[in-house]
Amino acid sequence: MIRCLIALLFAAIQTHAADTLHIYTWADYISPQALESFEKKHACRVVVDTFDSNEAMHAKLKAGASGYDLIFPTSYIIPLMEREGILAPLDHASLPNLAHLDPAVLDKISDRTMRHSVPYTVGYSILAARRGKVPTAEASWSLLLRPEGAKRLTLLDDMRETIGAALKALGHSINSTDDAHLAAAQELLLRWKAQAAKFDNEGYKAGLDSGEFLLVHGYSGDLWQVAQENDQVELIIPREGVVMGCDEMVIPSRAPQKKLAHAFINHLLDPTVAAENMQWTGYLCPNLPALDKVDAAFLRNPAITIPEEVKARSEVIRDLGPDLAKFTKVWDAVKR
C-alpha cells in the first residue's frame, strides 16, 4: 500500500513538473499526430490557443497577454512585431531542420535570413461553393455578386484579406494605397456585404459543409478539409488572382519556454512530420524533402497548387507602415 502511494505521489510530481509549451495559432492548424509525437518525445504538454485574425492576435499581445511560447502570424505583420520588440531572435544552432526549407519561399518574405521567423505554410484565400447551387463556370470574384448566393454567402472577417480580394477583383494590387483604388474597393465591398450573411473566419467551414452557406470566401486549407469530406463542395480559384499567405513561426521575447519552442519548430520542420502535417491541414509546407513524402494527388489539389497564370497575378500581403491607416478607414466604413 505504501509503495502504491509513493508511486502515485511520484507520478503526480512528475506530471506537475513536466514542461508545458503554450502555442497561439489559427484553428485546425497543427495535426493531432504532430502534437502527440512531440509531447511523447519531449515528455511535455502542449496547450493550443487560437486566434481568428492577425490583428486580433496583435491586439491581444499589445494589451499585455503573456505566457505564449510560440505564435503563428502571417508574414506581413512580422515586421511590425519586430519593430515593437515583441519577438525573440532565433537560435539557428537549435534548428538544424531549417535546411529543408524552400529558398523560393524565403525570397518572398521580409525576414529572409530567418532572424525572428520561420515559414510554416503557404496558402491562399479562395472561394468555395455548393455544387449546382451557384453557377461557377466563370471562376471569378464576381461570383460574390451572383443573385443565387444572396444572404447565403460569407466573407472573411479579415481586413487585409478581404480588402485585398476586392482590390484584386478590380485589377489592382492587394497592397495598393492609392486613394482612388481604395475608394473603389470600399464601394465593391459594400456591394459584397449586401449579399453576405456575415463576415466570418471559422464558422464558414461547418456552414458550407451543412449547406447553410452556398458560397464562401475562405482559407484554402480550411476549404480543402471540407471538400475532402464532402463531394458537394467545389473549390474555386478566382482568375483575377488571389491573396497568397505565408504563415510563420515566431517566439515572443517574453516566452517562458524558449528552448521547448525551438524544439517544436524543429519538430514541425522534420520532413516526415511536415508531410503528415500538411496532408492533415491542407496547407503546403515549404519543406522540399517533405514534398517527396506526400501523395501526388495532394499536390494536384487546386487548394494546394493553383494554375500558374493565376499564381502570376497573385500577391503576398506586405507591411504598409503608416499607410495601413488607409485600410483601417475602409474596413471601419464597411463593417459599421
Task: Answer whether residue 1 shows pLDDT above 80.
Answer: no
Which residues, in sequence order, are CB contacts of 71 under 8 Å at separation 6+? Answer: 23, 24, 25, 57, 61, 249, 250, 251, 252
Query: Mean pLDDT for the chain?
Result: 92
Q: Distance of alpha carbon 302 from its chain centroid, rounded? A: 17
Compute CA distances 227 → 109, 146, 158, 236, 319, whole Å. Answer: 29, 22, 22, 11, 32
Mean pLDDT calculated for residue range 104-120: 91
State the Cα angle at 215 between 212 and 219, rounded to 5°. 105
The CATH code for residues 123-244+305-335 is: 3.40.190.10
| Closest among 185, 165, 68, 127 to 303, alpha carbons compared | 127
3-state secondary structure of 194: helix
| Closest among 97, 94, 57, 95 to 78, alpha carbons compared | 57
Q: Which three cell numbers stand for residue 96?
A: 538544424
Q: Using one digit for the tens of pLDDT, what is the confidence trace for 6-57?
A: 444 444 444 434 699 999 999 999 999 999 999 999 999 999 999 999 999 9
Task: Answer whether residue 3 shows pLDDT above 90.
Answer: no
Lowest mean pLDDT among 8-12, 113-117, 145-149, 161-165: 8-12
Task: Answer whether residue 135 shows pLDDT above 80.
Answer: yes
Q: Using one digit for the tens of pLDDT, what is the confidence trace for 253-282?
A: 999 999 999 999 999 999 999 999 999 999
| pLDDT at 44 (0 to 100) | 97
Q: Distance of alpha carbon 50 from its chain centroid, rounded? A: 11
Q: Using one digit for the tens of pLDDT, what is the confidence trace for 196-215?
A: 999 999 899 999 999 999 99
What is the residue extent of each domain of the chain? 2-121+245-300, 123-244+305-335
Task: Answer whether residue 335 shows pLDDT above 90.
Answer: yes
Q: Using one digit for the tens of pLDDT, what is the confidence trace for 153-179?
A: 999 999 999 999 999 999 999 999 999
Please state the three-class secondary structure of 238-307 as a single string. Answer: CCCCCEEEEEEEECECCCCCHHHHHHHHHHHCCHHHHHHHHHHHCCECCEHHHHCCCCHHHHHCCCCCCC
Report residue 226's pLDDT band, with 50, 70 and 90 as the boundaries.
very high
CATH topology identical between 2-121+245-300 and 123-244+305-335: yes
The CATH code for residues 2-121+245-300 is: 3.40.190.10
Which residues, in sequence order, are CB contacts of 60 under 8 Å at separation 6+? Answer: 51
